[in-house]
């Protein structure tokens, strides 16, 4: 018995000796930054001013209560840019999500029905863009959208039509109320990202038991009934995951817009994360940026919760 | 359709099947076209690439753009490769070590506070990076790690998802193995290092590949931390180079190919595993 107690003590000591530094690390690099970020949002903080007190919060970096949040509704240039970037981010995300699903779900069903070797091949190729550097993707698509010699304009000219003067830089270029530059970004984003959801859908489709489809077949279900009444309901948990992840990443869109358009033309493609980055690290306006990042956090959190509510299922197959 | 497809499907070709393969092939061309485009564009001469209505394939294919990049004294490609590799390999090794060790502890040890600690860890997954990047930057300033490659590694040493993944896997390893190790008088750490770690080859490989790719392609955090040219990682170099050579798109395309090549090669080598992992773990 004594030996057993000894063994337990050794094990506990080992567990704590590993977990203590890990927990301290998480405190320093996750928990404290999270609290700090929320606190920063209540201050007019800039690292270029020395300030006073803990973390330089105070003195020249005064506590301003909710001023940063109230300012978001104001009539200043910064407030306008904030609201514009928020609108752009929503526009981007709410176009990307349905378009992504409209591409990946049918494609996954087609691939799932192909011969095993074809399946592996197409899946591998379609996944390739997701592993490539987003900066390189942005530069390549930038070249494709290049106004004169770019691939897209060349293709349009070669079928006898006239391409627009510019794809990414003309603020007047608008299609169905959506800036052409935004559409160009969405296309590039979809190209880079679709393989990810595709692969997840294929895996989920493979997990649907064959006897369920056979039963529906026996009952005389046709192809479209099969999809809407059998496949789609069974994909609900996957759909939840895919929607959450897709919305999460598109709400935090940064690289493509930063590199391809720089947020232009006339802030038509400035995303909320670009705005946070610029304010925090270009203008050193970190209190304001922290408040914006908290708003983005709340948006992400809310959408995730809503999707869990809407798409949650209690049953399994 | 090629004749070989008749053999793929035993009951012959239906119209639906032709349509399905047509869709797949269109998707294939759309997916591959940008890759082909960057490659052929990187082989064009400066005069050819800016011509209105240029031919898709270069008339006089040349490696001149690549030679220009490699000969440019302001672009020591080897240095930037070394920076990216150092950060990526550093992050991979540290993440694999901490994830497997903590995953082992969570899977096989009982101690008070365990559930709380696991809860804290899982809560950390919910915090988006954009939320904590400003304080993280301020912490690095205090630690004097701004503009160092360490600054890119330090905030990413613990991966909650990696720990979760390892715990799941280690729970499947029979307890007898650990008990046998104890009987032989191995210390707790030796059990981890000699008995558990060798069993984790598959999940370590998945986690390693994904951490490597994520780090290799990371842009926002290096953009914030790195200020000196020589310390840039490849994605940072790429945007700098593109801005500096705005009037010579062929050079930018060649630089993109140089950056893309290693990751595409890794993908071709580990393709099966990478795709399978994305499908089962939802790893992004």
ipTM associated with this complex: 0.88
Separation between Cα atoms, residue A253 and residue A88, nearest integer Å:
10
CB within 8 A of A133, min separation 6: which ones? B216, B217, B219, B234, B235, B238, B259, B260, B263
Chain B residues in contact with A120 by the CB 8 A cut-off are: 272
Inter-chain contact B131–A30, Cβ cutoff 8 Å?
no
Joined tokens for residue A77: 């240039």
- Find all residues with CB under 8 Å of A107, minimum gap 6, and list them: A126, A194, A198, B23, B24, B27
Interface contact B14, partner A, CB < 8 A: no
Output A219-228 pairs: Cβ under 8 A, ≥24 positions apart.
A227/A109
Q: What are phi and psi of A62, to 5 degrees?
A: -75, 155
Question: Is A54 part of a structural domain of the chain?
Answer: no
What DSSP character marks residue A208?
S
Cβ contact, residue pair A296, B130, below 8 Å? yes
Q: Is residue A171 part of a domain?
A: yes
Amino acid A311: pLDDT: 73
Dist CA B279 CA B284 (whole Å): 10
The answer to whether A203 and B283 are in contact (CB under 8 A) is no
What are residue A63's DSSP bridge partners? A43
CA A142, CA A78: separation in Å to the nearest integer? Answer: 28
Look at residue A101 and tell me whether its pLDDT is greater than 90.
Answer: yes
CB distance from B244 to chain A under 8 Å? no
pLDDT score at A313: 61
Tell me, yes or no, if A302 comes closer than 8 A to chain B by beta carbon: no
CA B40 to CA B62: how far, in whole Å?
10
pLDDT recorded at residue B3: 43
Residues from chain B contacting residue A5 (CB–CB below 8 Å): none
Q: In this structure, is residue A66 part of a structural domain?
A: no
Mean pLDDT (chain A, rounded): 88
Domain membership flag for residue A281: no
Closest by Cβ to A199, choosing from B24, B155, B278: B278
- Across the range A8-25, mean pLDDT stands at 91
Residue for token digits 């169905």? A176
Residue B185 contacts A where some CB pair is shorter than 8 Å: no
Query: Counting one residue from A and one from B, how many pairs have CB atoms under 8 Å apart?
Result: 245
Give the residue from chain B lying closest to A194, CA to CA: B31
| A contacts of B224 (beta carbons < 8 Å) | 277, 281
Domain assignment present for A104: yes
Q: What is the CATH number of domain B73-244?
A: 1.10.3720.10
Is A16 an interface residue toward B (CB < 8 Å)?
yes
Q: What is the predicted pLDDT for the residue at A3? A: 66
Distance (Å, rounded) from C-alpha A128 to C-alpha A316?
A: 32
- Statement: residue A248 has pLDDT above 70: yes
User: pLDDT tens digit string along A151-191?
Assistant: 888 888 888 888 888 888 888 878 888 899 999 999 999 99
Closest among A245, A218, A233, A214 to B282, alpha carbons compared: A245
Judge whether A179 lies within some domain.
Answer: yes
Identity of the residue in B33, B134, B155 whose CB atom sits nearest the CB atom of A29: B155
Best mean pLDDT range from A72-76, A137-141, A228-232: A137-141
Q: Give residue B47's pLDDT.
A: 74
**Does residue B107 sit at the A interface (CB-CB below 8 Å)?**
no
Q: Label residue A2 by pLDDT band (50, 70, 90).
A: low
Question: Does residue A145 lie within any of the structural domains?
Answer: yes
Closest by Cβ to A203, choosing from B31, B127, B280: B280
> How many independent structural domains does chain A possess?
1
Does B224 sit within 8 Å of A281, measured CB to CB? Answer: yes
A93 confidence band (pLDDT: 50, 70, 90): very high
Q: Is residue A316 part of a domain?
A: no
Per-residue pLDDT of chain B (284 residues; tens, 9 = 90+): 344 444 444 555 678 788 888 999 999 999 999 999 999 988 888 777 767 667 788 877 788 888 888 888 888 889 999 999 999 999 999 999 999 999 999 999 988 899 999 998 888 888 889 999 999 999 999 999 999 999 999 999 999 989 999 999 999 988 888 888 888 888 889 999 989 999 998 889 889 988 998 899 999 999 999 999 999 999 999 999 998 887 788 889 999 999 999 889 988 988 888 888 777 766 55
Q: Tell me if chain A has a CB within 8 Å of the CB of B88.
A: no
Which token pair is A132? 């490539």
Query: The domain that contains A264 carries what CATH number?
Result: 1.10.3720.10
SS3 A115: coil
- Contact call for A280 and B134, based on CB within 8 A: yes
Question: Residue A119 — pLDDT band, cuts 50, 70, 90?
Answer: confident
Give the residue numbers spanning the domain of A126.
86-274
Which residue from B minimizes the CA distance to A103?
A: B27
Structure confidence by residue, pLDDT tens digits, A36-90:
999 999 988 888 777 776 777 777 788 888 888 988 898 888 899 999 999 999 9
């Amino acid at each position: 018995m004594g030996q057993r107690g000894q063994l337990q003590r050794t094990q506990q000591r080992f567990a704590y000796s590993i977990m203590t530094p890990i927990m301290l690390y998480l405190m320093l690099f996750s928990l404290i930054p999270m609290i700090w970020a929320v606190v920063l949002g209540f201050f007019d903080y800039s690292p270029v001013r020395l300030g006073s007190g803990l973390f330089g919060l105070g003195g020249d970096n005064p506590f301003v209560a909710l001023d940063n949040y109230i300012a978001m509704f104001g009539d200043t240039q910064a407030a306008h840019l904030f609201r514009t970037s928020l609108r752009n981010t929503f526009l981007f995300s709410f176009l990307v999500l349905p378009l992504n699903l409209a591409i990946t779900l049918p494609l996954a069903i087609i691939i799932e029905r192909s011969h095993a070797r074809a399946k592996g091949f197409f899946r591998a190729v379609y996944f390739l863009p997701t592993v490539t550097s987003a900066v390189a993707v942005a530069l390549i698509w930038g070249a494709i959208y290049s106004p004169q010699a770019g691939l897209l304009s060349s293709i349009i000219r070669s079928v006898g039509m006239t391409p627009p003067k510019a794809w990414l830089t003309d603020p007047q270029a608008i299609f169905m109320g959506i800036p052409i530059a935004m559409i160009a970004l969405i296309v590039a984003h979809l190209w880079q990202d679709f393989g990810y959801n595709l692969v997840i859908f294929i895996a989920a489709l493979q997990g649907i038991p064959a006897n369920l489809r056979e039963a529906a077949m026996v009952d005389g279900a046709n192809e479209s009934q099969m999809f809407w009444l059998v496949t789609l309901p069974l994909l609900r948990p996957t759909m939840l995951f895919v929607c959450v992840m897709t919305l999460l990443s598109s709400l935090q869109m940064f690289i493509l817009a930063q590199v391809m358009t720089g947020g232009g033309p006339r802030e038509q493609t400035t995303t909320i994360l670009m705005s946070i980055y610029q304010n925090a690290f270009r203008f050193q306006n970190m209190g304001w940026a922290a408040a914006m990042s908290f708003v983005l956090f709340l948006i992400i959190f809310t959408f995730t919760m809503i999707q869990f509510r809407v798409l949650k299922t209690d049953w399994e197959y | 359709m090629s004749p070989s497809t008749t053999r793929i499907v035993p009951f012959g070709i239906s119209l639906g099947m032709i349509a399905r393969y047509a869709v797949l092939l269109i998707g294939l061309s759309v997916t591959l076209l940008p890759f082909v485009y960057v490659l052929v564009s990187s082989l064009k001469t400066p005069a050819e690439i800016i011509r209105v209505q240029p031919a898709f394939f270069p008339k006089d294919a040349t490696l001149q753009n690549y030679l220009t990049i490699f000969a440019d004294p302001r672009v020591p490609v080897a240095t930037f490769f070394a920076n990216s590799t150092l950060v990526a390999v550093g992050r991979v090794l540290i993440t694999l070590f901490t994830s497997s060790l903590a995953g082992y502890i969570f899977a096989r040890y009982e101690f008070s506070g365990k559930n709380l600690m696991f809860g804290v860890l899982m809560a950390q997954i919910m915090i988006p990076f954009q939320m904590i990047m400003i304080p993280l930057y301020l912490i690095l300033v205090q630690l004097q790690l701004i503009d160092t490659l360490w600054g890119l590694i330090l905030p990413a040493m613990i991966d909650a998802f990696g720990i979760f993944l390892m715990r799941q896997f280690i729970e499947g390893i029979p307890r007898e193995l650990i008990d046998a190790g104890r009987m032989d008088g191995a210390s707790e750490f030796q059990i981890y290092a000699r008995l558990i770690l060798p069993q984790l080859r598959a999940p370590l490989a998945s986690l390693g590949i994904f951490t490597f790719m994520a780090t290799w392609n990371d842009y926002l955090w290096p953009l914030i931390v790195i200020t000196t040219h020589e310390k840039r990682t490849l994605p940072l170099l790429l945007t700098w180079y593109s801005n500096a050579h705005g009037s010579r798109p062929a050079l930018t395309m060649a630089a993109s190919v140089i950056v893309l090549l290693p990751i595409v090669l890794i993908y071709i080598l580990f393709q099966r595993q990478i795709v399978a992992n994305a499908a089962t773990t939802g790893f992004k």
